Structure 1
Amino acid sequence: MESTETLVPKVYEALRQRAAHLLGRGGGSLSPQSLVHDVLVKLYRAETQSWRDERHFRAVAAIAMRQLLVDRARRKATARHGASPDLVSLTNVAVEGSPLDVVALTTALDQLEAARPRAAEVLMLRLFGGLSHEEIAEETGCSLSTVKREWRLGQAWLQKQLT
């Protein structure tokens, strides 16, 4: 088991790169560093301060990052009536490299989770956590072929929902 304090220096750059990728060029006023710092604050405040390894920490950070992006998009939409929701740039989903509405993406992931929880978990870990197929297989205890199959299924499902 590793503490948050020991893991942050090891994973900070990977989290910052993932945040930069998610925010793309249209991140608006939120910088990748700010998003990562918000994630870390959330993790420091969490009851659990022990993590199995870096991969476990990155997976939990991915969930926190998703939650923060959705909360931010909802707040902005509520604050300005008729405001367009925040957009996130994700490759491999919907139209390649095009920005997506983070609230619509989360809604679609929630619907997928109800029907195919494993596919939703694979997508979330890959898209928000930046984990490789191999890392996802180790984190979830699934075979690599299962992870790849769930990734393809989830991608196809999201493309249909978001286009």
Structure 2
Amino acid sequence: MLNICLKGSMEENLLWNQISSDLRRVEYLTISSVPNPGFTPVITSWPQQISIMNSAWFTLESLLTCTCNIITIGRSDLENKDLDDILNNWKTGGFPNLEYLYIKGKNITNNGTTILGRNLRELDGMIIQTNDGSKKATIKLGFPWAIEIYVTPFE
């Protein structure tokens, strides 16, 4: 387990750049904060599990490259449209290692924007599957503003 609380100092940024290139060896990584808006951590190799609190810096593009099996993202700026992109990406074979995804953020709302063609509340308890039929995922909603996805092999 590796827990990192980045406060934005030059030394921390250098240390991050050194260790982030070989995170495959890390089973569980927690990043607590990145208060320096001038520093955005770049992850080029992924641990098995990642938890990012205060994740405004963690974009959809970053998430789509993630190969972790367990992903927990708190205080996210991701929106319903991003969730639609994430789920459609998973359905077409993206996130091949994913077992669990949790995203919490104030922009996940029941504002009429659809996810997989449905409003947010309709997703609660919904089971979806990959296009090739190899995996299924159960979607659970946490209120306010959270979504959980549990992935299992299709039987």
- TM-score in terms of structure 1 length: 0.26
- TM-score in terms of structure 2 length: 0.27
Relative to its length, the structure with more strand (as a share) is 2
